[in-house]
Amino acid sequence: MQLLPKLKRYKGFIAGTLLTSTAFLFIKARTNDPYFEISKNLDIYTTLFKELNTFYVDPIEPGKLVKTGVDAMLNDLDPYTNYITESDIEEYEFMTTGKYGGIGASMRKKGEDIYIGDVYENSPSQKAGLHPGDQIESIDNQLVHGKTVEELSMLLKGSPGTQIKMKVKDAFTHAVSDKMITRGEIEISSVPYYSLIGPQNNIAYVRLTQFTQGCARQVKDAYDSLQKAQPALKGLVLDLRNNPGGLLDEAVNLCNVFIDKGQLVVSTKGKIPEMDHEYKTPTTAWNKDLPLTVLVNHSSASSSEIVAGTIQDLDRGVVIGERSYGKGLVQNIRQLGFNARLKLTIARYYTPSGRCIQAIDYAHRNPDGSVGNVPDSLKKTYKTKGGRTVRSGGGVEPEIVVKEDPMSSIAVTLYTKNYLFDYATEYASKHPTIAPAAQFLLTDAEYNQFVKWLDNKDYSYKSETENGLDSLAKLATKDNAYESAKSEFDALRTKLAHDKKQDLQKHKEQVKHMLENEIASRYYFLRGRIAQGLQYDKELDKALALIATPTEYQKLLKPAGK
């Protein structure tokens, strides 16, 4: 009988323990439930935002605050997952369509002033008589001195058909006048230049700058036009250098220009099986037999790499240039309401051999938050259609590697300080016409005139060695060792001091080419800039030489040893 109260106490203890354990397990289960975690953190975020809005000492801008928070959150993912606000929609649509409403000119800032950079051919700017080097003083009576290029672009863009009043100082006459410009629909062509090239003018060259809607059709039309002009074509060059990519469907359509119907171009694989897809060429190829070379560099990314990788995997052509960027991720757009959108990575893509060319591993970050390239140990080998070996995890590696020459410090300084731009304006004011862009070159005497023009200009800079010496001097000062070695530091600085005029002669070819290119654009716009630059294009020279030697071309498309 005396045991009964104790038993009751034990039963209470057991019941309490079971209840506590059950609650603990329930909480633990909810904690491990990802949907509970999402709901919990969204509730915290909403409550926090309400508290800030109600009690923070100063007024807050809700839209700006939310975007800052969302951008910070997305920074933990990859750089291609972005929050697009309603005000950013026009910029996004320009990236996918190549169209926007505006005057058709780029801007360039010098000090606190804004100047016309490039004028687009047949644009409202050209029709209004604007040209590169004109200074913009005001827009709709609003002074622009001190504004950023981005702020000015917002003022210039608008619906086609609307008018804008600009006060402009002419670069040639220095006269100030008001210009009424009617905005138009500006379409930047994805194929700004194509031409017959080579000693016999029997090789078709096409430059593609971005993968916007309809760009594959533009490429096909360009090749078709060149073939009609020269029925006896000997080969094709597709230039994808500095092409950042764009629409995946257009990459498939472009491959279809050279690859026949029914061939796998690319497959995508993501977290949701419904997003997995195989993309095959839908129609008959424009030409599946002519020798094809594809030019790429480190800035060729995304859809450019799909095209280059597919051409390589199917042994359809030879890739020439530098290893491509290495972007093997696919993005999609999701509607968020109020015309806001989320561009997010939904899958990885794989070329026909099965390789993913993604170079940076965003899924595994270092303790400091930085990311690194996919290690060599995780890169795999795959086989092309004909049995050649290709690798994953590092962009598309060309069959013929041609390294681009690094920019010299003097060339970078002349460009960033606008001296090349300003001299091109002066040159254009004194020369009503020049030779066709594909033949235009400066004489040595003309280059020396440019050097003389620079006499009273400040284009000083420090070499990498001088910057390294400055860093060493700081370390020596920190360790209290600089004073004892000061004379040695001074002597080394004197020895390293460079003569700017010597640099202008040492790097003459590079500086001269950049100046020629800038001048050509004043007369022939973007197409002239491209045509003029092809005169000293090492990658293109390799492509022409390869097409001229069919045995070497075929050899590169066969496995080693065959």
- CATH architecture of the domain with range 193-400: Alpha-Beta Complex (3.90)
Q: How confident is the model at residue 4 (pLDDT cuts 50, 70, 90)?
A: very low
Mean pLDDT of all residues in 369-386: 87
Question: Containing H/E element for 197?
Answer: strand 193-197
pLDDT at 481: 87
Residue 74: pLDDT above 70? yes
The pTM for the full model equals 0.88
Q: pLDDT (tens digit, 9 = 90+) per residue, 549-562? A: 999 999 999 997 76
Q: H/E/C letters for each residue in 294-321? A: EEECCCCCCHHHHHHHHHHHCCCCEEEE
Per-residue pLDDT, 34: 67
Q: With bands split at pLDDT 50, 70 and 90, how would you rate the model's confidence at 112?
A: very high
CA distance 300 to 210: 10
3-state secondary structure of 334: strand
Q: Give the pLDDT mean for 491-497.
A: 78
Q: CB 66: neighbour CB atoms within 10 A?
A: 15
pLDDT given at position 154: 87
Q: Mean pLDDT across the stretch 353-370?
A: 86
Secondary structure element (H or E) that encloses residue 166, with its range: strand 163-169
Top-level CATH class of 99-187? mainly beta
What pLDDT, on a 0 to 100 scale, did the predictor assign at position 16?
45
Question: In this structure, which amino acid lies at residue 200?
Answer: Q
pLDDT at 19: 43
| Low-confidence winner among 73-87, 197-211, 404-418 (lowest mean pLDDT) | 73-87
**Neighbouring residues of 315: CB distance < 8 A, sequence distance ≥ 6:** 384, 385, 386, 388, 557
The CA-atom distances, in angstroms, between 350 and each of 259, 265, 266, 281, 306 are 17, 9, 6, 15, 8
Q: How confident is the model at residue 28 (pLDDT cuts 50, 70, 90)?
A: low
Between 280 and 378, residue with greater pLDDT: 280
Residue 352: count of CB within 10 angstroms of its CB: 23
Q: For residue 414, is pLDDT > 50?
A: yes
Please tell me the distance from the alpha carbon of residue 93 to that of residue 116, in angstroms, as a whole number. 24
pLDDT tens digit sequence for 202-224: 999 999 999 999 999 999 999 99
Cα 119 from Cα 525, distance rounded (Å): 7
Span 380-390, pLDDT tens digits: 999 999 999 99
Quote the pLDDT of residue 490.
Answer: 85
Measured CA to CA, the distance from residue 181 to residue 160 in angstroms comes to: 11
Give mean pLDDT, residues 34-46: 87
Minimum mean pLDDT range among 72-76, 90-94, 213-217, 428-432: 90-94
On the question of pLDDT at 290 being above 80, the answer is: yes
Q: Which of 260, 354, 359 is nearest to 313 (CA)?
A: 354
- List C-alpha distances in Å: 174 to 133, 169, 202: 10, 6, 46
What's the rounded Cα separation, in Å, for the pair 311 and 353? 11
Q: What's the first-to-final CA gap in the chain, in angstroms?
A: 98
User: Which tokens is 50 given?
Assistant: 């309400």
What pLDDT sits at residue 31?
55
Per-residue pLDDT tens digits for 304-332:
999 999 999 999 999 999 999 999 999 99
The mean predicted confidence, pLDDT, of the chain is 90
Average pLDDT in the 38-48 region? 90
Give the span between the Cα atoms of 242 and 296, in whole angstroms: 8
Residue span(s) of the chain under CATH 3.90.226.10 come to 193-400
> For the chain, what is the largest distance between any 2 Cα atoms, rounded to a whole number of angstroms?
121
Q: Residue 463 has what pLDDT?
A: 73
The more confident residue out of 500 and 190 is: 190
Start and end residues for every CATH 2.30.42.10 domain found in the chain:
99-187
Exposure string of 236-251, with b = 16+ CB inside 10 Å and e = fewer, is bbbbbbebbbbbbebb
445 Cα distance to chain centroid: 37
Please give the pLDDT value at position 13.
43
Angle at 68 between CA 62 and CA 70, to 5 degrees: 100
Tokens in use for 16? Answer: 């309490």
* Residue 294 β-bridge partners: 238, 319
pLDDT (average), residues 429-436: 97
- Asked whether residue 26 carries a pLDDT value surpassing 70, the answer given is no
Dihedral angle sign, alpha carbons of residues 382, 388, 389, 395 = negative
Q: What band does 30 get if pLDDT is binned at 50, 70 and 90?
A: low
Instruction: Supply the pLDDT for residue 129.
Output: 95
Q: What is the mean pLDDT of residues 254-271?
A: 97
* Phi, psi torsion values for 383, nearest 5 degrees: -115, 140
